[in-house]
Amino acid sequence: MTTRRTFLTQAAAGTAALALPLPAFAQQAAPSVLAKQEVNVTSRYQPGEIVIVPGAYFLYYVTAPGRALRYGIAVAKPGWGWKGTATIRRKVEWPTWRPTDEMIDGNPSTYGKYKGNDERMPGGPGNPLGARAMYLYQGGKDTYIRIHGTTEPRSIGRAASSGCFRMLNENVIDLYNQVPIGTRVTVL
């Protein structure tokens, strides 16, 4: 069920930004982070646009002028984050997955079997990308950043990924069904 909540906007570093109280997280994400919610947003963002606020662990899909659906997300671990504007150029149900070269080099005990080959984990319930993935491109090039589901729902509301934005599988399916190829994504 979607609930209505309002949040304020403020200028940050000369740019209008979404101003949210940063949620307090203990061992698990608060229920409000996990639930999809309908919220007010600044009119700076246009319907059909996705805005991600990593510091607040939220992704916003703007549905109408001043309105958005808010989803809790997991974000990149410190040093792995990405900011900017991109476009969804590819969408995949039950995507295959291969760790990036940086992930392989950084964690050879877990990902070493992928070094030097193009082996991919098949899509399905055990795949780290979960039920759906949306691929972000910038200037026609793959950023290797994804908005995707997860096999680790406890990671929502945390800095846990290697750069991607994780969502609960039910939430990523909901978002995936609403956004077309070409959707603009802004990561603040």
Active site residues: 148, 164
Q: How many CA atoms lie within 13 A of 169 on its CB side?
A: 15
- At 151, the amino acid letter reads T
**Gap between the Cα atoms of 123 and 120, Å rounded:** 9
- C-beta of residue 33 within 8 angstroms of C-beta of residue 57: yes
The C-alpha atoms of residue 166 and residue 17 are separated, in whole angstroms, by 22
Three-class SS state of 86: strand
